[in-house]
Amino acid sequence: MIIKAFADTICGWCFIGHQNLNQALKDFPNSKIKVEHVPFQLNPDMPQEGILRDKYLEIKFGGKEYAAPMYENMTLKAKEAGINLNLDSISKTPNTILSHLLIILSEKFNIQNEMKQKIYETYFIDGQDIGDRNILINIGHNLKIDKILIEEFFNTENINKVNSYIS
């Protein structure tokens, strides 16, 4: 069975769903269930360089105070899933194309689940900019993918392929 998981790497609800799915799959250790990552962008018009978090919250929700009830609920559900979100550490909302490309590349090494997990943690717990190519290269390298291979994979042709798929 194939489970297609449509998710964006800056979506806290997607992170929670990823965590819950991984937990549920542990109940079926001998099954032939494959989870396929399908790139999705919550903000397809996000500039390549991203935008400051406060500006994003103003555009998306009308300000941080209007996002607060949703974030409180998200934080509660994340704790139930075993995740300690650190939303206050996020200073930038990134464009997620490169993070999706890194997950696609990681499929060749059969580590896409670990890669997706690490990208989520880097953003939602460490507050790092997962739109930054160097941060993503380091994430991939820490999971044993050659830095040069990652850099080469982050080419315009692959970016355009993902953009056309998501659009």
Left, alpha or beta for 156 (phi > 0: left; psi -120 to 50: alpha)? alpha
- Which tokens belong to 14? 């997607």
DSSP label at residue 62: S
The pLDDT value given to residue 98: 96
Ranges in the chain, pLDDT < 50: none
8-state DSSP, 89: G
5 vs 7: CA distance, rounded Å: 6
Q: In the prediction, which pLDDT does 167 show? A: 58
**pLDDT for the residue 102:** 97
pLDDT value for 155: 86
What's the pTM value of the predicted model, to 2 decimals?
Answer: 0.94
pLDDT of residue 156: 77
Residues forming beta bridges with residue 39, ordered by sequence position: 7
